[in-house]
Homo-oligomer: A and B are copies of this chain.
Amino acid sequence: MTDFASTRALFHTPEGVIYLDGNSLGPLPLAAKARVADMIEKEWGEHLIRGWNVAGWMHQPRRIGDRIGRLIGAAEGTVVMGDTLSIKVYQALASALDLNPARRVVLSDSGNFPSDLYMAQGLLQSFGRGLELKVVEPEAVEAAIDDSVAVLMLTEVDYRTGRLHDMKALTKKAHAHGALTVWDLAHSAGALPVDLAGADADFAVGCTYKYLNGGPGAPAFIYVAPRHAETARPALSGWMGHAAPFAFDLDYRAGQGIERMRVGTPPVIALAALDAALDAWDGVSMDDVRAASTALCDLFIAEVEARCPELVLATTRDGFARGSQVSFRHPEGYAIMQALIARGVIGDFRAPDNIRFGLTPLYIGEAEVRGAVEILGDIMANRLWDRPEYRRRAAVT
């Protein structure tokens, strides 16, 4: 049984804050500060360029990829770190399209994170050859999978509502129709059990600054199913993905397996922070995380609905059909969230009217849930959100 009291002790929470926004940016793992300082002072400062060899910088993307692989049902050597999630989406989609050259349609849904759709739009326009993006409602995805689809590209957990796609069933249907799949695990990795191998996913990508707590702008990951690893063509063919980067050949030759999904020089400082953050997952069972997270979300829904009838639940009540977050809708969602943040309850707002709360047992417990709802209840009951300073929109929310 995972000891969540121990994992909570690994994170820093500011005084007076209830942090329910780890689905946007995870809190600081206490180990990260020392690890990064050490990396900077001892590795960069003392080893200098030798760090690539003696400090293992060159192998970090694979080593850390394997640590994440364990959390998402990926075999060793199938996950590699680097770039941002948007770039990894581009890579995965390009490779998947190449592996299905007779088809033209990329199928996605309106619950996908917009950046994924944007990257696909840019890619399809660049690649030309009649490729098109078809975006349907999340509920219509299954029915839309047909023999025209080249690639099914979905985010498993909807960033607004928390709705969870059935990765295994949709992948199975996609394969039955000759389509490949690209799964974005941004709100899945570290949030719930993912079984990429069991679901037979073709490609998967994800970020590490949400439930994996790697820090703002932490590097992304990409997974390639072993059956594609030696045939996938890297559209972003950088030297770190070359079969022999330090031979400095003039022609690209794809590296072995997942190595080819590396592009440029790895972000060593950021990877040090992420590596420290991943220590928190040692000995953690994703099934335990899931059970505890479901209970926290159930409690949060029940408490909010009891106190705040004006808020409309945007997340399913079915714990098996959602991620590790709960969203409510309200026309004044933006101002409500600002009022909450002013009182130390940090969630976030997603246009047009969603207030979003991430609840993960790694560092959140019942006390935080009850405390947050008490403040939310007060804000709603007394219309404390109705102030000019809460309605004024900041650049980022």
> With a CB–CB cut-off of 8 A, which chain B residues contact A99?
none
**A86 x B41 contact (CB < 8 A):** no
Closest residue on chain B to residue A41 by CB atoms:
B33
User: What 0/1 readout, one digit per residue, does chain A (267-289) give for beta carbons within 8 Å of chain B?
Assistant: 11111010000000000000000
Bound form: Cα–Cα A173–B392 in Å: 52
**Which of B33, B83, B87, B127 makes the CB contact (< 8 A) with A127?**
B127
Bound form: Cα–Cα A393–B342 in Å: 58
Nearest Cβ on chain B to A82's Cβ, whole angstroms: 8
Interface flag for A257 (CB, 8 Å): no
As for how many copies of this chain the complex holds, the number is: 2
Bound form: Cα–Cα A215–B207 in Å: 22
Interface flag for A220 (CB, 8 Å): yes
Known: A40-B28, A87-B83. A215 touches B396 (CB 8 A): no
**B395 x A53 contact (CB < 8 A):** yes
> With a CB–CB cut-off of 8 A, which chain B residues contact A248?
114, 350-351
Bound form: Cα–Cα A32–B43 in Å: 13
Known: A83-B83, A348-B49. A252 touches B94 (CB 8 A): no
Interface flag for A2 (CB, 8 Å): no
> With a CB–CB cut-off of 8 A, which chain B residues contact A121?
237, 251-252
**A36 x B40 contact (CB < 8 A):** yes
Bound form: Cα–Cα A145–B372 in Å: 66
Known: A94-B126, A264-B220. A239 touches B48 (CB 8 A): no
Nearest Cβ on chain B to A109's Cβ, whole angstroms: 10
Interface flag for A265 (CB, 8 Å): yes
**B85 x A264 contact (CB < 8 A):** yes
User: What 0/1 readout, one digit per residue, does chain A (81-119) give for beta carbons within 8 Å of chain B?
Assistant: 011111100100010000000000000001001110111
**Which of B126, B216, B246, B348 makes the CB contact (< 8 A) with A265?**
B216
Interface flag for A308 (CB, 8 Å): no
Bound form: Cα–Cα A380–B17 in Å: 64
Nearest Cβ on chain B to A230's Cβ, whole angstroms: 17
Interface flag for A365 (CB, 8 Å): no
Known: A118-B238, A216-B269. A86 touches B264 (CB 8 A): yes
**B217 x A126 contact (CB < 8 A):** no
**Which of B21, B115, B249, B395 makes the CB contact (< 8 A) with A238?**
B115
**Which of B45, B82, B242, B395 makes the CB contact (< 8 A) with A118?**
B242
Interface flag for A388 (CB, 8 Å): no
Interface flag for A357 (CB, 8 Å): no
> With a CB–CB cut-off of 8 A, which chain B residues contact A396?
52-53, 58, 246
User: What 0/1 readout, one digit per residue, does chain A (22-42) give for beta carbons within 8 Å of chain B?
Assistant: 001101100011001100110
Interface flag for A68 (CB, 8 Å): no
- Would you give 12 A-B contacts (Cβ < 8 Å), ordered by A? A28-B40, A52-B216, A52-B396, A83-B264, A85-B264, A86-B240, A118-B242, A121-B252, A128-B129, A248-B350, A248-B351, A269-B273
Additional A-B contact list (10), CB under 8 Å, known A122-B234, A122-B235 = A14-B48, A21-B48, A21-B49, A24-B49, A52-B216, A115-B239, A118-B242, A122-B233, A127-B127, A216-B268
